[in-house]
Amino acid sequence: MKRVGVHVPAWIAVAALMAGCTVGPNYHRPDTPVPAKWNQKPVSAGSSLSQQNTHWWKNFRDPTLNRLIDQALVFNLDLRQTSARIRAARAQRVIAVAAGLPTIGARNSINRRRNTFSGGPGTTTPLAGGFGLPNEIIDIFQLGFDAQWEIDVFGGIRRSVESAQATIEAEVENARAVTVTLLGEVARNYIEVRNNQWQIHIAEDNIRAQEDSLAITRSRYEAGLTTELDVDQAAAQVAQTKSQLPAYEIALKQTIHQLGILLGKDPGYLLTTLGQEGPIPVSSAEVVADLPSELLRRRPDIQVAERQLAAATAQVGVATAELYPKVNLTALLGFQNYQPDSLTPIARSWSVASALSMPLFNWGKIRANIQAKEAEKDQILFAYQNTVLNALREVEDALVAYYEEQKRRDALRQSVEANQLALEVANERYTKGLAGFLDVLVLQRSLYLAESDLAQSEARISGSLVALYKALGGGWQTAEESRTEPRPHRS
């Protein structure tokens, strides 16, 4: 029995051996210098190991905040968009991988043919299809398969797969970045809701106290113990404080509306849930920030920029591969018969072919594309470096705001206590006729402002803590946790 062999040209064999060659630059993570430590030192010094706290909001010990966070993680529409982008990136990687694999397709056809060889109707001739068929109209059924394969000699397809994989990883990190931002925004808006409620509470308390002072002043005026000017000043003080309420109500309702959107609900979804006044969430635990070097691997936006840089570097290789030859292999196997249900074909055909193509003259198009991809890679590198610098600034800003605002909060507490004592003395002296009403007005106003500023300061401390979490990418913890929990091993 004779064996039929297919002889592949030598250059195809060489091309197959060269398939391990990959053109274009190999990616290396950029070496980005960062400070050895933060400029802002904690109020109470103490060495600690750092560990990522993935449930940072629980340090506020606020059940309502915990429920809002849980709902946001399930229903937020921005998070759902990131999931869709990850699916799309994974599909693009499948497309990139498939470009380097052989493709097999079916080639089927039905032909109606009339033989017009000499001999007249019904005459059988050797030329009639080569099978002694009569000169008549016949149907030919053909069934075949063809295969095509572009050999990735210079690694253009492999670079494309690298780029697609890096894009997937960038989208995964982007989902983390959206999660960090989302949870921070939920916490920040919730703190603002409680702050506005406390501002309303403080204003209403002061209005009641000022209305009591107005009633006393009117009684003294009717008794001839004071002037009408004191009554007018007391009434003006009450009206001025009342004018603050609508502004706080507006801010309160708008913040609740924003929270509803963050939870993927309509703006009025939380009006009933958050309608009752609650305390401003405060965390009493000392926060220990990671070292700046940890920021590079914990901040998801830095990871997104780094993975985008890897994808752009691989795209330079994809563009460079266009300068080199392309090797394509094709094969065909087919059968034909006059009856579609016949198991014995009357003809068989096969073919194997190879093709080599390469660019010779294209007016600099390919090299211009390479230069464009290199420029895009440089842009993303600069964006990566800028992202790192902004991340360092955000951490420093959050640390300064968190620790310095605590000093301001302590001073405001002393101011509130001092104003309360002074107002009590001023009211007593005024009712005894030993002092004018102006002293009472000034101290009432001073106490109201101090109480309002104290509530604002408490909210700012909690907001700065949330900002610090966001700036560190979720990588902060309490001092107690850092002393008791070991750091997990990271390969």
The closest alpha carbon to 402, from 463, 483, 445, belongs to 463
- Residue 336 within a domain: no
Q: To which H or E segment does residue 105 belong? A: strand 103-114
Cβ neighbors of 307 (< 8 A, separation 6 or more) are: 166, 167, 169, 170, 173
Q: How big is the chain, counted in residues?
A: 491
- Residue 232 within a domain: yes
At which residue do the structure tokens 């210079």 appear?
A: 154
| Sheet order of strands, 347-357 included | 103-114, 137-151, 326-337, 347-357
The whole-number pLDDT of residue 300 equals 92
- Residue 35 within a domain: yes
- Residue 348 within a domain: no
- Residue 158 within a domain: yes
- Residue 112 within a domain: no
Q: Domain of 449?
A: 24-100+153-323+365-484
State how many domains the chain has: 1
Per-residue pLDDT tens over the stretch 21-42: 788 899 999 988 888 888 876 5
- Residue 91 within a domain: yes
87-101, 125-139, 284-298: range with lowest mean pLDDT: 125-139
At which residue do the structure tokens 């295969």 appear?
A: 147
Per-residue pLDDT tens over the stretch 315-348: 999 999 999 988 888 888 877 766 666 556 666 7
Q: Rounded to whole angstroms, how far apart are CA atoms 127 and 111?
A: 18
List the CATH number of the domain containing 175: 1.20.1600.10
- Residue 141 within a domain: no
- pTM for this entry: 0.80
The whole-number pLDDT of residue 478 equals 43
Q: With a cut of 60, say whether residue 223 has pLDDT above it.
A: yes
